[in-house]
Structure 1
């Protein structure tokens, strides 16, 4: 299944296929942002698509990717279980907590949690 734009809770979301190409470089993130310009406000990326370096903050990859989405005013949502990464890094836990309080980048466990966040966002 290719990446597709779906309306979820009244918000157009680019739903990234879990089996799609990995997001391993800044250009990969820019490609998703470009695809979002077809009408999406949000890009939902499954954790399976993110290079492991995304969860290792010392690489600065997560910060670079997140900043690209903020700069282009496209919301990034990381969808999936990241508990093992959180258990290994207090810095990542802090980043996730801070991100989830903002409106730009969210980390959610599943699509139901994404829908709930989108409903809350719209109200």
Structure 2
């Protein structure tokens, strides 16, 4: 975990080897270990069920982000997920600006709202 500031955005960057987010409770424990409202994870930090929308895990995480007024960037290569519903989920999330799925941090910070 590394607290960082770029421009006027303060965020916490989690190393992909540090954690595996397997459920909403592990997500909240991790998020609240940080002082920042903006958190950055690697796609590898999330259990594979996060990327299967039928599991409900991603929806639960987005609900927590909304409830606690957080912002999240997930860094990775999302082209490997061929589900149309997941691609739509990424598109809608990126448009909203509170949860961003991108390959690089700079782009993610620019898309935050």
- Is structure 2 residue 53 aligned with structure 1 residue 76? no
Question: Greater CA deviation, 18-27 or 108-117?
Answer: 108-117
Count of residue correspondences: 113
Conservation of the 8 A alpha-carbon contact between 1:9 and 1:115: no
Q: Give the alignment of 1:31-110 within 5 angstroms.
A: 31-36=29-34, 38=35, 40-85=36-81, 88-110=82-104
Runs of 4+ with >3 A deviation: none
Deviation by residue 1:2-23 (Cα, 9 ceiling, x = unmatched): x111012321111011111101
User: 2: CA distance between counterparts of 1:101 and 1:9?
Assistant: 22
CA displacement at 1:77 relative to structure 2:
1.1
User: 1: CA distance between counterparts of 2:75 and 2:91?
Assistant: 15
- Secondary structure in structure 1 of the residue aligned to 2:74: strand
| Aligned residue number for residue 20 of structure 1 | 18
1:113 to 72, 96, 107: 107
User: 1: CA distance between counterparts of 2:80 and 2:19?
Assistant: 22
User: 2: CA distance between counterparts of 1:12 and 1:35?
Assistant: 15
TM-score computed with the length of structure 1 as normaliser: 0.85
